[in-house]
């Protein structure tokens, strides 16, 4: 089997091994592939593995040997799945590989906002503590999350993992979910959209990007929030109207935001969140711990192996 990896660098910048994949066929690896080179590089391949490369109807039409597309991610909107299905092309994704890593990132942002460890490290290095007349030194608000309300949009694997950590912190957990109350894990209460925004001291987003969730966080919903509230986004950038969130931050309508995803990545230089007040941004790294990427690699290999043996798993083109 001819296998082509079109953009493997994000998964494996050099700290993982491709050997398990190489055992499944004749492999060619590219760190990145521009759109204009996709067809040329993938020509003759029966299996293509991608992360962010777009596989459109037109691309598939130009690749008559293509039988399998493996996406190195949970989301697979980079593939025209309807067209793949029409052509009998299997499309697999990688579910639930980064749950713990993403949940950890949510609380990395929360603790950054509440405890400001990096800020105080810099203050100490500049001599602020050694020059202090007191045994303790601080110049920012210091917050405690116990007793506060955490609101979750989306109670999939990651949302539920975040809820468990929040409960361990002593937080009250509410959620916007289609699940009935009796279906929810203990300690989570379902609420309406307006109640979620009004009650949450922390709002954390763990939903897919759909027409219903695009721009969910916007001027109207931000207006419902407490001025002390925090917004965290580790889902998809467009779930937030970035202009509206930046305005709310700059005007002190909410306390802070922590985001790992933006509407375009890498971001445009004029993205308003890059310079917004109290906006803490990480560059789409919640998924990228060594442990999560190792799991991703293992699942990607198992997906292709299962296809080869006729017992395909994680096929989304069905």
pLDDT of residue 232: 98
Distant-in-sequence, close-in-space partners of 151: CB < 8 Å, separation ≥ 6: 173, 174, 175, 176, 191, 196, 197, 199, 200, 202, 203, 204
CATH architecture of the domain with range 2-97+290-308: 3-Layer(aba) Sandwich (3.40)
Given a contact cutoff of 8 angstroms between Cβ atoms, the answer to whether 279 and 102 are in contact is no
pLDDT of residue 4: 98
pLDDT of residue 47: 98
Domain coordinates of the chain in residue numbers? 2-97+290-308, 99-281
**Is the torsion defined by CA of 262, 149, 219, 209 positive or negative?**
positive
Collect the ranges in the chain with pLDDT lower than 70. Answer: none
- Whether pTM > 0.85 for this model: the answer is yes
Catalytic residues: 236, 265, 284
Number of helical (H) and strand (E) elements in the chain, helices listed first: 11, 12
Q: Find how far residue 68's CA is from the centre of its chain.
A: 25
CATH architecture of the domain with range 99-281: 3-Layer(aba) Sandwich (3.40)
End-to-end CA distance of the chain: 22
- Which three-class secondary structure state does DSSP give residue 34? coil
pLDDT of residue 180: 86
pLDDT of residue 160: 96
pLDDT of residue 198: 98
Q: Do domains 2-97+290-308 and 99-281 have the same CATH topology?
A: yes
Alpha-carbon span 218 to 51, nearest angstrom: 29
Q: Which two tokens stand for residue 286?
A: 């919640």
């Amino acid at each position: 089997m001819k296998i082509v990896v079109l953009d493997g660098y994000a998964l494996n910048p050099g700290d993982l091994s491709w050997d398990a994949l190489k055992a499944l066929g004749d492999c060619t690896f590219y760190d990145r592939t521009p759109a204009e080179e996709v067809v040329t590089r993938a020509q003759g391949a029966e299996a293509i593995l991608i992360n962010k490369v777009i596989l459109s109807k037109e691309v598939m039409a130009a690749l008559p040997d293509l039988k399998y597309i493996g996406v190195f991610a949970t989301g697979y909107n980079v593939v025209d799945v309807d067209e793949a299905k029409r052509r009998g092309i299997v499309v697999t994704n990688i579910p639930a590989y980064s749950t713990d890593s993403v949940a950890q990132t949510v609380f990395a942002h929360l603790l950054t906002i509440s405890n400001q460890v990096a800020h105080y490290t810099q203050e100490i290095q500049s001599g602020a503590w050694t020059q202090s007349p007191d045994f303790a030194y601080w110049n920012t608000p210091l917050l405690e999350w116990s007793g506060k309300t955490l609101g979750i949009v989306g109670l999939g694997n990651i949302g539920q993992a975040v809820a468990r950590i929040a409960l361990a912190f002593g937080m009250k957990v509410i959620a916007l979910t289609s699940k009935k109350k009796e279906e929810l894990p203990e300690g989570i209460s379902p609420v309406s959209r307006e109640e979620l925004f009004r009650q949450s001291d922390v709002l954390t987003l763990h939903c897919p990007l759909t027409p219903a969730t695009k721009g969910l966080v916007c001027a109207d919903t931000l207006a419902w929030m407490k001025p002390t509230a925090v917004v965290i986004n580790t889902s998809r950038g467009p779930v937030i109207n970035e202009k509206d969130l930046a305005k709310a931050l700059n005007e002190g309508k909410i306390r802070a935001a922590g985001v790992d995803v933006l509407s375009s990545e890498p971001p445009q230089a004029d993205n308003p969140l890059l310079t917004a007040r109290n906006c803490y941004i990480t560059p789409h790294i919640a998924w990228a711990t060594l442990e999560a990427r190792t799991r991703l690699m293992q699942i990607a290999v198992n997906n292709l192996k299962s296809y080869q043996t006729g017992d395909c798993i994680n096929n989304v083109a069905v």
